[in-house]
Structure 1
């Protein structure tokens, strides 16, 4: 059941913080989720404290410092600390992080406070940095295209190539031009039944998109065993040999599974890396034998929920997920 009231959100935040203490290796994603619930509970000052606590850790221990800063800026702006929020956002721009999330949070913060030109510039700068011409658009980057399209509609700017790409990637039953039409606000006050019916259809499509995102707050993840871990796993549990055969077969099947999911339209795909001690601990927590093959996808889902998933597919010029040292386009991304 999803938290609905401020008290529910506070309770969920406390649960996540306890889990973070139990799993220190996953502290950052769990604390970020706790901070989000505290914001929803209205306890923005405490949420800021959590962001500060994460940023106070040694630099090597912080996985996503720019995302944490962006979330902190968004939170600060909401409770009267605009100047500090702006300074953080400009710092993110100067740092030019190589992942989409901090750019999106910062741009949407500017948009939420009617800084449309600045938001447009932020979205555009991010896409220039992250979107390689001719490459398939990574899932995480698609939201930047969508956000930029929305802001450009609000600014009454003509379509450009990125707007066309955003429209082509849109999976909602209602086109982006309709979803992002500024006149929609006026439709809600219309006395024309046809206009109201059309707006209800658009809102339902938009709500469906949000529900999909809420129901899957972490990637659909496939389990990857590094070579030495797989050898240890099969030595300890030979009954799993039928599931994995050998390491090369395991890697090929993993890539094929992800491609099948992608072809079926499944968004937000990822890979989680297993270790034998972690898997054994998970099996013990489930009171199940590690040889139970049905436990493997549950283990993968749990790792993804704890923030351990790596998005798939990587760029063709990025290192392959398998750890071979080759670029993805030459390794498992070839063909």
Structure 2
């Protein structure tokens, strides 16, 4: 436990420095830092960061900070304060991401009627404009349907539209002349990320560190699924040494995208261990942080 807290503390300190270095991403980086301080056993420090983001940034970032603050206060047993913050947030026009975060927290607490209210807020834009394109991939919509079922409510028009959309896409995939292989992706394990940067195996991620790397990988997988109309991937935890050995044995460049793709498919074909992505919301995050997926790479703020 002590090692994990010390690691979280180091990550939080590094993120604080990056927030200064990259002011355009300040709020997002600070929210990650606050989560690490909470993991390090310093919740008061995390709360101060949330207060700072709320005071200085405004808009959606401030609402994400408020949602995270409510969640932390609840975990600390300060439920009266959490409920006051929740009531105050509810009086604003809340963006979908923060609303979804609050809804999931309330669902986890068994406050299902309140959770449904917040899932409705998270899906308000779909209801307003008919957003068919988002019906298949919107996590808040799945949460809304899940809570409605738990409350014993019949499927409504939005539930049915989402289900019809899923069925249509599944039918298209089944009718494809050449069935595509299962969607797959790969990522460097946390202990190898720094070396992957040093070997030039990661491109385009700024700053060059593990939190930014895993955030970019998560976003890339989401974009790929959105484009393909899919909802699941099998992902391969990759070690730098294994990729380098694979490339050397075949006279290939390990930095080349095709080499990475061939390595992925060959290893899967050999029966290498893969992970299901995305994991369940309350399951450990795929990135190896030790946090729940919904509080880590799966948080609305990290998408």
TM-score by length of 1: 0.47
Secondary structure of residue in 1 paired with 2:147: helix
1:83 & 1:39 partners in 2: Cα distance?
20
Report 1:126-145 matches (<5 A): 126-138=122-134, 142-145=138-141
Deviation of 1:137 (Å): 4.4
Deviation sequence 1:147-167 (CA, Å, 0-9, x none): 112212322222222323444
Deviations 1:88-147 (A, max 9, x none): 2222222122x3111011111211222111111221243235533432344898111111
The answer on whether the counterparts of 1:101 and 1:140 sit within 8 Å (CA) in structure 2 is no
1:24 aligns with 2:23: yes
2:65 maps to 1:68 = yes
- Give me the whole-angstrom Cα distance separating, in 2, the residues matched to 1:48 and 1:137: 37
Q: Partners in 2 of 1:218 and 1:109 — Cα distance?
A: 21
For 2:49, the equivalent position in structure 1 comes to 50
Determine the structure 2 residue equivalent to 1:95.
92
The 3 A distance-change label for structure 1 pair 139 and 129 is: closer
Contact 1:12 1:37 in 2 (8 A): yes
Answer with 130-139 or 110-119: which moved more: 130-139
Aligned pairs (5 A) from 1:169-318: 219-220=219-220, 262-265=226-229
**Matched-pair contact (CA < 8 Å) for 2:96–2:121:** no
Q: 1:129 to 1:262 in 2, by over 3 A?
A: closer
Q: Which has the larger radius of gyration?
A: 1
Could you tell me whether the CA contact under 8 Å between 2:19 and 2:26 is conserved in 1? yes
Structure 1 residues 107 and 131: alpha-carbon distance in aligned structure 2, compared to 1, 3 A threshold: same
How many angstroms does 1:261 deviate by?
7.7
Q: After TM superposition, what 4+ stretches of structure 1 lie above 6 angstroms from structure 2?
A: none
Aligned match of 2:145: 149
State the match for 1:120 in structure 2. Answer: 116
Q: Distance in 2 between matches of 1:150 and 1:51?
A: 30
Q: Is the 8 A contact 1:120 1:152 kept in 2?
A: yes
Give the conservation status (yes or no) of the 8 Å contact 1:100–1:140.
Answer: no
Name the Cα RMSD after superposition. Answer: 3.8
Q: Secondary structure at the match of 1:157?
A: coil
Equivalent position of 1:107 in the other structure = 103
| Aligned match of 1:226 | none
Task: Give me the whole-angstrom Cα distance separating, in 2, the residues matched to 1:158 and 1:140.
Answer: 19
Tell me if structure 1 keeps the 8 A contact 2:28–2:61. Answer: no
Say which SS state the counterpart of residue 83 (structure 1) adopts: helix
Do structure 1's residue 40 and structure 2's residue 16 form an aligned pair? no
Q: Distance in 2 between matches of 1:112 and 1:123?
A: 13
1:34 positional shift = 1.1
Q: How many residues align?
A: 189
1:80 corresponds, among 59, 77, 82, to 77
TM (normalized to structure 2)? 0.52
The 3 A distance-change label for structure 1 pair 133 and 23 is closer
